[in-house]
């Protein structure tokens, strides 16, 4: 069963329906890998073996009953029935922890399921546990977790990206075939690129945020990680759709097309005639040569397959970073005001109410969260609201208008780098917050405009993964999935596709240092 961890989610689902595998065996194989390697990766904050095996047994019974009824009953099951999945630790699961990577929520147990948790349980997916993340999703490296950093399965001395680094690393390391992340400014796409997997940020409103611990409510969006496009589409199909408990959840139908994407030959042929834009502003100053080379090679491959690629301009892209770091901290300062030591997590201090409040927040929040709360509170304060927050919202409208103009010209999608570099070493950007913020320069505008964006692997640079970003018009996830399937088809025989993360053997060695040890003493042990 160990080899089954290398199979895609849909391949595992096919084995389950055919009776060639059990959900319990699949869950156990993935749990074994997670438990064996988590000391070196720290991708998981909770590995719930007992709960996962109970869910797997229920899934096996459900599949067996459907098989006894006949093919029609089997066809009614969601493809993810019995398939293992990992959840980022800001997704509420009734009775389980949801720390959002913060000490201020240590000990908190969710009293209800998030909307996506309900959907996954209805589908019959098996939740293996909760993954590590930057505190309150504020970070680009998963170094800001209060529970220690996560390592990249391709090189244990490097970050997996963030804030959904644990979810990305768990899929890249074969601990789960699929996982859930959230993307506020690139927190799905950037770690997907750095870990060499597929990650999608859906259109804002496509997936309910009910039961998801909030960072910036007008930017946050839940999305899937997977090792190929079809798995990502199946996971989005399971969790998307209208939810009356989230007023920003859109009443847009969930296409069944996501469960029947074209096969390799059809997908490759569908690239012919597709009109793609290549934004010049996304090839930022300081982009690593190897990353630019892989992205341009991917663009040429699309052109060779018949796609029409034209260089385009998104002139307000240069203001995206500054705009984001006004809007997001402002919303964070409001959302995080609820953590007062009364309603959630621990209460610190033994003084009066104000002293307890200050002690709880002072010790419960990490430095990056405090930084953003202060920035946001300042931007919203009297005398500065119009100068900063209101102006940022106006620029946000201009950023969206740049994209709208291209959709009006008939472009099917945009192609661009996901990141300007490969995974960087622990500590490389911790002393310079601006350098860390620049990690998301290519992904932030998509969130500001509320668009769907996807990162797919497009090769290696210096032995580390590079991501190609696909950007679509609102509600155009189907087109992105088809485009990604086409690219996967035309590069199926590329040598880099056969390479597994190079540090997995080292991660399985009990003597390998933990990510916290590596971050504290760069160079500890082997890089992997």
Residue 98 half-sphere exposure, CB side, CA atoms within 13 Å?
A: 20
List the structure tokens of 278. Answer: 């290549």
Mapping DSSP onto H, E and C, the string for 464-525 reads EEEEEEEECCCCCHHHHHHHHHHHHHHCCCCHHHHCCCCCHHHHCCCCCCCHHHHHHCCCCC
List the structure tokens of 178. Answer: 């699929």
User: In 373-478, at which residue ranges do the beta strands (DSSP E only) sit?
Assistant: 413-417, 453-461, 464-471
Query: How far, in Å, CA of 181 to CA of 223, rounded?
Result: 6
Which one-letter DSSP state was computed for residue 422? S
Instruction: Count other Cβ atoms within 10 Å, centred on residue 8.
Output: 18
Look at residues 377, 379, 405 and name the one whose alpha carbon lies nearest to residue 392: 379
User: In 255-371, at which residue ranges do the beta strands (DSSP E only) sit?
Assistant: 275-279, 308-312
User: In 150-288, at which residue ranges do the beta strands (DSSP E only) sit?
Assistant: 178-182, 198-201, 222-226, 275-279
Please answer whether residues 132 and 114 qualify as being in contact, where contact means their C-beta atoms are separated by less than 8 angstroms. Answer: no
Q: How many residues does the chain have?
A: 528
> What residues have CB less than 8 Å from 344, skipping those under 6 apart?
104, 105, 108, 338
Put the strands of the sheet holding 84-88 in their side by side order.
Answer: 44-47, 126-131, 84-88, 178-182, 222-226, 198-201, 453-461, 464-471, 413-417, 275-279, 308-312
DSSP secondary structure string for all residues of 94-160: TTSB--TT-GGGTT-B-SS--HHHHHHHHHT-EEEEEE--SGGG--SSS-S-TT----BTTBTTB--
Work out the angle between the directed axes of helices 391-408 and 320-335 (0-180°, nearest 10).
Answer: 120
CA distances from 521 to 150, 433, 524 (A): 15, 20, 6
Catalytic residues: 88, 163, 187
Indicate the helix (H) or strand (E) that contains 88: strand 84-88
Query: How far, in Å, CA of 522 to CA of 515, rounded?
Result: 10
Query: How far, in Å, CA of 482 to CA of 270, rounded?
Result: 8
Query: How far, in Å, CA of 79 to CA of 354, rounded?
Result: 51
């Amino acid at each position: 069963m160990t080899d089954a961890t290398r199979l895609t989610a849909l391949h595992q689902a096919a084995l389950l329906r055919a009776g060639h595998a059990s959900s319990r065996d699949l869950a156990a194989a993935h749990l074994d890998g997670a438990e064996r390697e988590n000391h070196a990766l720290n991708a998981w904050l909770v590995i719930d073996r007992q709960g996962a095996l109970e869910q797997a047994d229920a899934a096996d019974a459900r599949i067996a009953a459907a098989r006894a009824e006949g093919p029609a009953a089997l066809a009614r099951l969601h493809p993810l029935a019995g398939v293992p999945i990992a959840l980022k630790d800001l997704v509420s699961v009734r009775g389980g922890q949801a720390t959002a990577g913060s000490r201020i929520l240590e000990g908190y147990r969710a009293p209800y399921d998030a909307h996506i948790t309900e959907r996954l349980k209805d589908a019959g997916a098996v939740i293996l546990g909760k993954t590590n993340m930057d505190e309150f999703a504020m970070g680009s490296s998963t170094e800001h977790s209060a529970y220690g950093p996560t390592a990249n399965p391709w090189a244990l001395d490097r970050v997996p990206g963030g804030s959904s680094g644990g979810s990305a690393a768990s899929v890249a390391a074969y601990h789960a075939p699929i996982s859930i992340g959230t993307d506020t400014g690139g927190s799905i796409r950037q770690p997907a690129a750095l870990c060499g997997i597929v990650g999608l940020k859906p259109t804002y409103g496509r997936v309910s945020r009910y039961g998801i611990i909030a960072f910036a409510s007008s930017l946050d969006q839940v999305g899937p990680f997977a090792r190929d496009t079809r798995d990502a589409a199946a996971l989005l199909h399971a969790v998307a759709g209208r939810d009356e408990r989230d007023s920003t959840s859109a009443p847009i139908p969930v296409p069944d097309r996501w469960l029947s994407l074209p096969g390799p030959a059809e997908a490759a042929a569908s690239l012919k005639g597709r009109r793609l834009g290549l934004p010049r502003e996304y090839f930022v100053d300081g982009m690593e040569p190897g990353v630019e080379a892989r992205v341009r090679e991917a663009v040429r491959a699309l052109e060779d397959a018949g796609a029409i690629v034209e260089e385009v301009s998104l002139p307000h892209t240069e203001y995206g970073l500054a705009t984001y770091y006004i809007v997001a901290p402002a919303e964070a300062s409001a959302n995080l005001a609820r953590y007062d030591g009364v309603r959630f997590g621990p209460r610190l201090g033994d003084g009066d109410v104000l002293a307890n409040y200050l002690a709880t927040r002072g010790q419960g929040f990490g430095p990056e969260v405090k930084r953003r709360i202060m920035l946001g509170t300042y931007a919203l304060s009297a005398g500065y609201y119009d100068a900063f927050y209101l102006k940022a919202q106006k620029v946000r409208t201009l950023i969206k208008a740049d994209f709208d103009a291209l959709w009006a010209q008939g472009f099917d999608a945009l192609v661009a780098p996901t990141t300007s570099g490969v995974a960087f070493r622990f500590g490389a950007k911790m002393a310079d917050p601006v350098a860390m913020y620049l990690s998301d320069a290519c992904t932030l505008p998509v969130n500001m405009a509320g668009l769907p964006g996807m990162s797919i692997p497009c090769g290696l640079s210096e032995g580390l993964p590079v991501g190609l970003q696909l950007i679509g018009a609102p509600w155009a996830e189907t087109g992105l999935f088809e485009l990604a399937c086409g690219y996967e088809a035309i590069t199926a025989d590329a040598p880099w596709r056969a390479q597994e993360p190079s540090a997995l053997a080292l991660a399985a060695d009990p003597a390998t240092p933990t990510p916290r040890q590596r971050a504290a003493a760069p160079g500890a042990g082997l890089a992997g």
